[in-house]
Amino acid sequence: MNSSYYFSKIYVLIFALCIFFIFINFPKNENPPAQSSFPESTSGNKIISALEKFQDCYNSKVFTFSNNSKDIWSNIEIIAHICDGFGGNLDLRPLRNRDETKWLAFPKKTNLDRNFTMVTLGIANDITAEIKLRDILPQTDFFGADPTNMSQIYTQLGQHFQFGVSGKTGLKNTRIYKNPKMALEDDVKNVNFVEFIDEYVQRKLVHFLWIDIEGGEFEIFEMLYRNGDIDTNHIDICQINFEIHQKTLEEITNEAERFQNFIRKIVTDGKYAIVKAFNVRKQNFVRIFLVNIENAECRRLFID
């Protein structure tokens, strides 16, 4: 711990305080909703104006305030809290795992009899939150993948696949847990995310996706972008709990910068809203909760 370490902490703290004070004075958006390609719906205008507020907040306040990616990484929790325009339209429910919380936007009452599809990437020996999801939405089909054999715990929920899911199919350096306390890197079977959804899950609409894949997530980033592999393969995902790590795989560097670029692109795309974010364990990883505000079926089920 040298003085530059403390300096950077102080800098981040000042940044967080500035953001906080800017936003408590942030005027409400009083402009009428702009043109949008969104399908009409009862809450259409509400969503468009929430999207405008969300984009404007990131563009005019966050991104112009600092180009130091560490600031975005370290402050994403407060930024997401202040810039959120969607929480009010959603029935948000926390689902607690042993050491974390997944978020669920609960379906609107008229959609409770639906069948839902849930995909877990990285089971990590803990399905407490999945069990809570099954208890409140029993008609959910579960699909879980992990490079470690988790079939003993996961098959009580649904189908289990023993491989990593990331950007490429084939043997790939992956962080795996031989036991809960011992992680190591090894070349193990991986399946490309889109291929996994098409060939193993075999659904075009995934309602709930939870990603905790220990560094493999950086290859998922661009798949989620507008016109990325998920779009071009006509797959839709309604809700994503996404964990992004620093210093997990040795080959991955510049995590904060990649994360900042991801956040910029997600905000610009306007397809997913960043509804919640958390800075976890001394900033070593962040968690974000994204909700698809564009897909008509996702909106009908969870927002309208």
Ligand X SMILES: *[C@@H]1O[C@H](CO)[C@@H](O)[C@H](O)[C@H]1NC(C)=O
3-state class of 119 per DSSP? strand
Contact flag: residue 156 with ligand X (CB under 6 A):
no
The least CB distance from residue 145 to ligand X, in Å, is: 13
Give 196's DSSP letter.
Answer: I
The least CB distance from residue 10 to ligand X, in Å, is: 18
Contact flag: residue 67 with ligand X (CB under 6 A):
yes
How many Å apart are CA 125 and CA 298, to the nearest integer? Answer: 29
Side-by-side strand order, sheet with 158-161: 158-161, 140-145, 116-121, 205-211, 236-245, 285-292, 272-280
Which of 66/246 has CB closer to ligand X?
66
Contact flag: residue 178 with ligand X (CB under 6 A):
no
The least CB distance from residue 149 to ligand X, in Å, is: 4
Q: With b meaning 16 or more CB within 10 Å and e meaning fewer, what string describes 116-133?
A: bbbbbbbbbeebebbebb
Contact flag: residue 60 with ligand X (CB under 6 A):
no
The least CB distance from residue 150 to ligand X, in Å, is: 8
The least CB distance from residue 255 to ligand X, in Å, is: 19
Q: Which helix (H) or strand (E) holds 82?
A: helix 69-83
Which of 38/63 has CB closer to ligand X?
63
How many Å apart are CA 137 and CA 156, to the nearest integer? Answer: 15
Among 31, 35, 64, 202, binds ligand X (CB under 6 A): 64
Contact flag: residue 149 with ligand X (CB under 6 A):
yes
Contact flag: residue 204 with ligand X (CB under 6 A):
no
Return the structure tokens found at 197: 């959804």
Which residue's entry shows tokens 């409770």? 112
Contact flag: residue 254 with ligand X (CB under 6 A):
no
Provide the residue count of the chain: 304
The least CB distance from residue 114 to ligand X, in Å, is: 6
How many Å apart are CA 234 and CA 250, to the nearest integer? Answer: 33
Contact flag: residue 284 with ligand X (CB under 6 A):
no
Site for ligand X in 107-146 (CB under 6 A): 113-115, 139
Contact flag: residue 179 with ligand X (CB under 6 A):
no
Which of 149/232 has CB closer to ligand X?
149
Return the structure tokens found at 193: 């995310």
Q: Which residues pair with 272 in a beta bridge?
A: 292
What does the binding site for ligand X look like in residue numbers (CB under 6 A)? Answer: 64-67, 113-115, 139, 149, 151-152, 162
